């Protein structure tokens, strides 16, 4: 199986790759093709910092509305793998911003489910309701850092108003460091346990974040 990913950033791509590995849906990270941001394959690309190497929620929206890369990926007959799927990632931290404009539901037991459904509905409209049968939605409430945090603490990590800051404070408190500051590599290391989702202890971590669990459970079963 081959997965195309449209995400807000490289750390998000890293987390999604690890989850797909843990679910047994891919064998290696190269089974994933980031459509946005794009991989920079040589030093020239990296030094010039081409726009394609970056992303944010507005660029995720743009890719969904343009649908050029999506159409090519899902319809490219030169790709050997017959089974191709798309994952669209977005954080809800900025959902109230102009152009995103997803109204937050009242805080309650169904907050994550309702906000996820509203965000999926918004993205589906950006896609003009195309490609939905082949698309999976990685809606992180409120940021993907809350998903990684779920691997480390036995609590509901979706309740933090600032998941990125909360996770960093936890790492500092525990003295957890990574040997690199590269965004992608750092996330791959911190989220490594997602590659072990078949283990009960790691699978139980999904209960620490509702939006993470909903995404993982939405993914296709391994044939």
HSE-up of 147 (CA within 13 Å, CB side)? 32
pLDDT digits (tens, 9 = 90+) for 71-128: 999 986 555 556 899 999 999 999 999 999 999 999 888 999 999 999 999 999 999 9
CA 61, CA 95: separation in Å to the nearest integer?
A: 12
State the first-to-last Cα distance of the chain, in angstroms, to the nearest integer: 10
- Please state, in angstroms and rounded to a whole number, the distance separating the CA atoms of residues 39 and 59: 15
- The answer, as to whether pTM is greater than 0.85, is yes
Categorise residue 200: left if φ over 0, alpha if ψ from -120 to 50, beta otherwise.
alpha
CB 141 within 8 A of CB 160: no
State the chain's mean pLDDT as an integer: 92
Q: Note the pLDDT tens digit of each residue in 194-219.
A: 999 999 999 999 999 999 999 999 99
Please answer whether residues 198 and 22 qualify as being in contact, where contact means their C-beta atoms are separated by less than 8 angstroms. yes
The answer to whether residues 29 and 160 touch, using CB atoms and an 8 Å cutoff, is no
List residues bridging with 36 in a β-sheet.
Answer: 6
* 43: pLDDT strictly greater than 50: no
């Amino acid at each position: 199986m081959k997965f195309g990913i449209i995400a807000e950033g490289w750390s998000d791509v890293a987390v999604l790759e690890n989850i797909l590995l843990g679910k047994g849906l891919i064998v290696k990270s190269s089974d994933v093709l980031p459509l946005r941001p794009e991989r920079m394959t040589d030093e020239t690309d990296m030094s010039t910092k081409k726009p394609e190497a970056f992303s944010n929620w507005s660029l995720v929206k743009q890719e969904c509305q343009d649908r050029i890369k999506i159409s090519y990926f899902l319809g490219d007959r030169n790709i050997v793998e017959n089974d191709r799927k798309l994952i669209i990632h977005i954080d809800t931290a900025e959902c109230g911003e102009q152009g995103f404009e997803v109204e937050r539901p009242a805080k309650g037991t169904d907050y994550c489910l309702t906000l996820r459904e509203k965000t999926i509905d918004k993205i589906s409209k950006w896609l003009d309701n195309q490609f939905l049968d082949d698309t999976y939605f990685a809606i992180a409430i409120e940021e993907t850092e809350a998903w990684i945090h779920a691997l480390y603490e036995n609590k509901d990590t979706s309740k933090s108003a600032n998941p990125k800051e909360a996770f960093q404070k936890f790492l500092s408190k525990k003295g957890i460091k990574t040997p690199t500051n590269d965004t992608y590599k750092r996330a791959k290391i911190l989220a490594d346990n997602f590659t072990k989702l078949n283990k009960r202890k790691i699978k139980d971590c999904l209960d620490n974040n509702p939006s993470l669990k909903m995404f993982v459970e939405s993914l296709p079963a391994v044939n």
